[in-house]
Amino acid sequence: MYFVKTTDEVNLAVYDLNPKGKRTILLLHGWPLSHLIFEYQTEMLLSENWRVITMDLRGFGNSDAAAGGYGYDQMAEDLYRVVCALRPDRFVLVGFSMGGAVALRYMNRFQGYGVKKLLLLAAASPRLVRSSDFPLGPEPDMINAWIEEAASDRPALVRRFSRERLFACCHCDAALDWFERIALTASGIATVQCAISLREEDGRADLESVRVPTVIFHGGKDRVVPPALARYQQEHICGAGLCILENSGHGIFYDELDRFNGALLRALQ
């Protein structure tokens, strides 16, 4: 692990495994987690001689708990700083949940600098909640409750999210405890402020900006980002493919692990 400094002096934790690998992939986690969620994809990718870059978004994992900067524009700028520091050669960009929304903002603000393929995993895009001019997604009440609880009883929020919202398949208590511990490494500020960004940000223009091959992965039983949003993404990203894992929830990277990893490798080929 080492740190990359952002434009507002925030230190981002970056992990660069197998830097001499023949191909490069960069993975962005979602709210309120960290790079650790990709453990079982990282092992597989390294076995295929990929250079695997992960990072903790500001306020999460080992990155600085900044006082602000949790909008998608700044987080896309953070990603750009990491790309400029590591200089990966034509990489695959992967974004899960909020990380997918940040990846899409990066494609828009920085014209997809360095990206040769985009993979979206249960991406919270273009909006997580419905509005007067966007009828898809859950009502704002869901995320309003998350914001309120994050500001008053964050451990309870994390427990409920890990055990009631993240997965559709049954997992052992040890695995659920692991995801809960990962979520608790986030700062309280980041947990609240990123939830507000999830409620307020609009990424419709981001979808239209994508000009690289794109594959969308989504769980058929996702209770955080409804599958209707994945279909909307496919309609508004030119030439995008869509892979629905019917028995997976929002935690698509773990619910049907073998099936997802197999689909991921096929998309990378």
By annotation, the residues acting in catalysis are 97, 222, 250
CB 86 within 8 A of CB 167: no
d(CA 7, CA 81): 8
8 A C-beta contact, residue 249 and residue 223: yes
Residues in contact with 51: Cβ distance below 8 Å, sequence separation at least 6, in sequence order: 16, 17, 18, 19, 20, 21, 22, 23, 24, 25, 88
Q: Is 115 helix (H, G, I), strand (E, B) or coil?
A: strand
Four-residue CA torsion sign, 14, 154, 39, 27:
negative
* Residue whose C-alpha is closest to residue 229's, from 196, 192, 203, 264: 203
In sequence order, the β-bridge partners of residue 94 are: 27, 119
